[in-house]
Amino acid sequence: MANESLPLFVLPEASQGAKKKLTSTQAAYLAGLLDGEGHFGMRWGTPVVKNGHCYKRFEYFVALVMTNKAFMEKIAVMVPWGSGTIWNANRTLKGRARPAYKMKWSGTAAAELCRAMLPYLHLKRPHAELILKLADAKVAAQAERTRTAHAYPARIVQLEEVLFLAMRVLNKRGQDNAASLT
């Protein structure tokens, strides 16, 4: 029995090298798609163990789940960041629905995707802004990290926690929560 969580399609990194950024039309198209069908989020990432210390970290990501695998493969080719990995999203609908496929961009790939789509996002704009705020803060703080002190400065860890809680408010089901953050 095959493991259904293994990647079904991986776009080779080498073929993405020629395409460095999205056109404005592609960014607008993806923004519309991800505004309606996408998920922007943050979650606890894999803890980093360095020099005997365990550092917690958050992963920020943009995900898309759809039932049309061929369409997802076209999106993977269009987006120049990340590996374009598509895998079967396990669903427990007992045969009442078609299989779903999931694609996820995280880290730098998610930040670059948010940056490209930001002018065109409507519903998920606050989500993308939180991701960009954290990504930009981490890049700015990167110079403060050393071999002996691998952890991010305390202000970045605090910012991660604040933005994580804000993202949870935005992603809460059943209501429009963007206004509650202002």
Domain that holds residue 23: 7-174
Q: Is residue 1 one of the residues assigned to a domain? A: no
Q: Is residue 13 one of the residues assigned to a domain? A: yes
Q: Is residue 146 one of the residues assigned to a domain? A: yes
Residues 53-109: pLDDT tens digits? Answer: 666 677 889 999 888 888 988 888 888 776 556 777 766 666 677 778 888 898 889
Q: Is residue 180 one of the residues assigned to a domain? A: no
Q: How many domains does the chain have?
A: 1
Q: Is residue 179 one of the residues assigned to a domain? A: no
How confident is residue 148, by pLDDT bands cut at 50, 70 and 90?
low
Residue 137 pLDDT exceeds 80: yes
CATH code of the domain containing 159: 3.10.28.10
Residue 30 pLDDT exceeds 90: yes
- pLDDT for 4 equals 46
- Three-class DSSP labels, 100-121: EEEEEEECHHHHHHHHHHHHHC
Q: Which of 103, 102, 105, 107 is nearest to 57 (CA)?
A: 107
Q: Is residue 182 one of the residues assigned to a domain? A: no
Q: Is residue 21 one of the residues assigned to a domain? A: yes
How confident is residue 7, by pLDDT bands cut at 50, 70 and 90?
very low
User: 0.95 cut: is pTM over it?
Assistant: no
Q: Is residue 111 one of the residues assigned to a domain? A: yes
How confident is residue 3, by pLDDT bands cut at 50, 70 and 90?
very low
Higher pLDDT, 154 or 174: 154
Higher pLDDT, 85 or 24: 24
Q: Cα separation of 51 and 176, whole Å?
A: 44
Mean pLDDT of the region 117-127: 95
Q: Cα separation of 79 and 83, whole Å?
A: 9
How is the chain classified by DSSP, letter by letter? Answer: ---TTSEEE---GGGGTT--S--HHHHHHHHHHHHHHEEEEEEE-PPEEETTEEE--EEEEEEEEES-HHHHHHHHHH--SS---EEEE---STTSS--EEEEEEETHHHHHHHHHHGGG-STTHHHHHHHHHHHHHHHHHGGG--SS--SPPHHHHHHHHHHHHHHHHHT-TTS--GGGG-
